[in-house]
Chain A
Amino acid sequence: MSSTFGGLNTARTALWASQRGLDVTGQNIANVNTDGYSRQRVELRAMGGTAVPAIHSVSSPVGNGVDADQVIRIRDVFLERRGQVESAKAAELTVGDEALAQVEAAFREPGETGIQNMLAKVWTGFSAVANATDPQDPAARRQVLERLDILANGMQTTRATLDQQWLQTRDNLEALAAEVNSTASSIADLNTQIRQATRSGLPTNELSDRRDLLVGQLAQRVGATSVAAEDGMVDVIVAGTTLVASGSALGVRVAGADSPDDLGAGDDPRLVTVPGGTSLAVGGTAGGQLSVLTSTVPRYRDSLDQLARDLVTKLNAVQAQGYDSSGAKGDLQPLLDDGSGTVPVDPATVTAGNIRLRVTTPELLAVARTSPGDLGAASADGRNAEAFFDLSLEAGGVDATYRALVVGLGVEASVASRDLEVQTVIATQVDSARQSVSGVNLDEEMTNMLSFQHAYSAAARMVTAIDEALDTLISRTGLVGR
């Protein structure tokens, strides 16, 4: 036996549910392009009759209408985790790819401005010196010295470019650490708000969306992953260390060498927690930048240094076995050095950064090979110049080493960009899959809008019908006694 006005109440809940449905549809449409928004849905639930019937109860209730209290976020946690992992990997590969492209630009190969061209010019310069061995005419000697100077400067420029790239990357990493810190503390704040709201039974959908967006950013920056915690909060974990635990966040900072010269001394750049100082094996953009700092750039820098050492060792060895215009042996006048001017030159102290042309007087270039002791006078044979040229023909010579360096760089860069291409497709696909669950589909919202609209109209009609029925009962009945 239901009450007289039970039907009106049922219709009222229906009106209210439809209105709420329309509200949520409106919210979804409003946020169709909002980053990180997950679509929402009103959870409609039919309200039942009494759950515990009395012993003599004879009522056969039809229910009390509809309950539309819960508005839920529709999302797939698994896909979100996947998305975090894949976007972190894509971010890491992007950094690696860009860094290699920069290294490629530093070497300027193949072309007319690269080290290869400078080397070739030096060799042909020596061959030209062999042609013009007239000691009165220093033009050819001066030319080869100029070319050697250009080569030394070219190496210094390339190395300075690499150094600059390294410093820039480290600056970027510092900026990124600051960004990570502010993001992590924002997540912690949002976590706190979400806990308060959850405990007081308030909706947290929008707060959660904003927090998940920030977690996604952290995933890209440092390869963070999230784990659900109590009261709708999440913990953010980076490489096994909890960065955000409910309402509190750890900081990170960049530690270790701040100049590429200090690398390899066990104090390479790394991200550490504040407080604690635990070093983090981060992924994402930071992971990419760290591997640029500790591997990519130093590797090419070292190769270039080795090239400079080879060049200095080989050219000086040839210079040492020849005789200059005055007939003096060349071993006291090394051609190239590390800028310190000490003789003999210690190749171990030479780098591409300090390689310098030491001999600036053309007459001191040891062009001749015949000893003045044998000849009785200074010789004008250009054999030592030929010996310089022969360096370019050596199987494992400087040119071959440099070529191997450039080709290795090319292979690494092309592999990196292919990897990035593949990873971008994967990340986009995972993101699309996530979007397909939690994104807003306008067609769907339109149909929802229609159905809620119709439901509202029907509920309103229901009120009218009951009203008419009651009107009949109240106004038209009980007229007999009048």
Chain B
Amino acid sequence: MRITHRAVTQTALLGLNSNLSAVTKLQQQLTSGKLISTPSDSPTGTNKALQIRQDQAAVEQFARNISDGQSWLDATDTALTTVINQVHRVRELTGRAANEGTMSAASREAIAVEVDALRDSLLGVANSTINGRPLFGGVTTGSVAYDRDSGDYVGAPPTAGGADLGITRRVSNADQVRIDITGVEAFGPQGADLFDVVDGIADHVRNDYSALAGDLEALDVALDRLLSATSSIGARSARMESAGQVNLDMQLTLASQLVDVEDIDLARTIMDLNQSEVGYKAALQATAQVIQPTLVDFLR
């Protein structure tokens, strides 16, 4: 085959260009640290990367949901514990008033006053808020769960229209955890709740001994209800905790997956770059040697 200098130049140029573009590509990967900079670099990798990024955003949000839910549950737990302690004190006072029938009117009044104060304090705890929302108010838009004066429940009911109305936090794509407990569930139904019972005790201590025995029973029922509410909150808190752990693991897994898909393997890329640089230099050298000499150089 006849070879011409133009043809040699063209072929050499094509080879040099492809060598140089390989070097450029690797250099770009090294400087950006990314294996995939456009979808065409790796369509399947892009798909994975997009999916992982979406999952990452969701999981990060779940982490916020979990810590938010956790703080809500913690606050509820603290409030319930306080309530239980105070109810124990009410029970103690009630027992004393019921047993010591010969108590002076002044002593009875003292007990009644303390019970009244405890009832107000209980109501205060039942109205505790987190981020401006009442802990025991359910999905109410109001700022309190119980009316401060009458002690009536003004929050949202636990169910309405046949649907459960708990406040929930999404802890994973598939899982939602309820984080609240309404006043009705924790303190008893409207008209027979803890505050009515305690209110009744204060009244009975002053005026009607005989009813105190029944009040004690009602108090026990309320205590049982409180304890079961606490344990339910505790169980949900534990669930939240494990969800948090899973979430943390998930964040790490996703991050490392994204790195696997998107980021370069530094050692390998540097080696590849060196290799293609060697190839490029060799091509340059060969081209220089082939293109330079012609017969002109050897004619005298």
Contact = CB atoms under 8 A, between A and B. Distances in A.
Interface of A: 32-33, 100-101, 104-105, 107, 109-110, 116-117, 119-121, 123-124, 127-128, 130-137, 325, 368, 370-371, 373-375, 377-383, 386, 389, 392-393, 399, 402-403, 406-414, 417, 424-425, 428, 431-433, 435-437, 439-443, 446-447, 450
B54 A381 contact: no
B100 interface: no
Contacts of A447: 295
Contact of B165 (A32, A107, A370): A370
B15 to A, nearest CB: 10
B47 A413 contact: no
A54 B262 CA distance: 94
Contacts of B39: 104, 107, 109-110, 406-407, 409-410, 413
B41 interface: yes
A410 B139 contact: no
Contact of B60 (A124, A382, A389, A441): A124
A399 B140 CA distance: 34
A450 B298 CA distance: 13
B131 interface: yes
B43 interface: yes
B294 A442 contact: yes
B254 to A, nearest CB: 12
Contact of A450 (B14, B57, B299): B299
B260 to A, nearest CB: 14
A386 B49 CA distance: 25
Contact of A406 (B46, B65, B294, B296): B46
A378 B10 contact: no
Interface in B32-61: 36, 38-44, 46-47, 49-51, 53-54, 57-58, 60-61
Interface in B175-194: 176
B283 interface: no
B2 interface: yes
A374 B10 contact: no
Contacts of A432: 7, 10-11
- The 5 A-B pairs with the shortest beta carbon distances in the complex, nearest first, are A410-B39, A439-B4, A374-B161, A413-B40, A410-B43
A116 B51 CA distance: 9
A132 B68 CA distance: 9
B139 A123 contact: no
Contacts of B296: 442, 446
Nearest to A410: B39
Contacts of A135: 141
Given A101-B38, A377-B140, A134 B46 contact: no
Contact of B57 (A121, A386, A446): A121
B279 to A, nearest CB: 17
B6 A123 contact: no
B46 A435 contact: no
B1 interface: yes
Interface string B14-30: 10000000000000000
Given A406-B46, A447-B295, A435 B7 contact: yes
B81 to A, nearest CB: 24
17 contacts: A110-B53, A127-B58, A136-B132, A137-B132, A370-B160, A374-B163, A375-B156, A379-B140, A380-B141, A386-B168, A393-B173, A408-B43, A409-B40, A413-B38, A436-B7, A440-B6, A446-B299
Most chain A CB within 10 A, of B4, B62, B133, B176, is at B4
A443 B294 contact: yes
Interface residues of B, number: 57
A381 B3 CA distance: 82
Given A411-B43, A432-B10, 9 more contacts: A32-B5, A104-B38, A120-B54, A120-B58, A124-B57, A375-B157, A413-B38, A414-B40, A441-B2
B50 A403 contact: yes
Contacts of A399: 54
B54 A446 contact: no
B159 to A, nearest CB: 9
Contact of A407 (B46, B60, B157, B173): B46
Contacts of A378: 141
Contact of A392 (B58, B65, B156, B157): B58
Interface of B: 1-7, 10-11, 14, 36, 38-44, 46-47, 49-51, 53-54, 57-58, 60-62, 64-65, 68, 131-133, 139-142, 156-157, 160-161, 163, 165, 167-170, 173, 176, 262, 294-296, 299
Contacts of A116: 50, 53-54
Contacts of A109: 38-39, 46, 50
A441 B160 CA distance: 94
A120 B53 contact: yes
Most chain A CB within 10 A, of B36, B40, B47, is at B40
A206 B241 CA distance: 87
Contacts of B50: 109-110, 116, 402-403, 406-407
Contacts of B2: 436-437, 441
A379 B156 contact: yes
B54 A375 contact: no
Given A403-B47, A417-B40, A428 B299 contact: no
B14 A436 contact: no
Contacts of A386: 168, 170, 176
A406 B39 CA distance: 7
Contacts of A441: 2-5
A380 B5 contact: no
Nearest to A120: B57
A123 B62 CA distance: 11
A433 B10 CA distance: 11
A34 to B, nearest CB: 10
A428 B161 CA distance: 76
B40 A124 contact: no
Nearest to A386: B170
B90 to A, nearest CB: 31
Contact of B160 (A100, A374, A402): A374
Contacts of A370: 139, 156, 160-161, 163, 165
Nearest to B54: A120
Contacts of A408: 43
A435 B10 contact: yes
A132 to B, nearest CB: 7
Nearest to A416: B40
Nearest to A424: B14
B40 A127 contact: no
A299 to B, nearest CB: 15
Contact of A410 (B40, B62, B133): B40
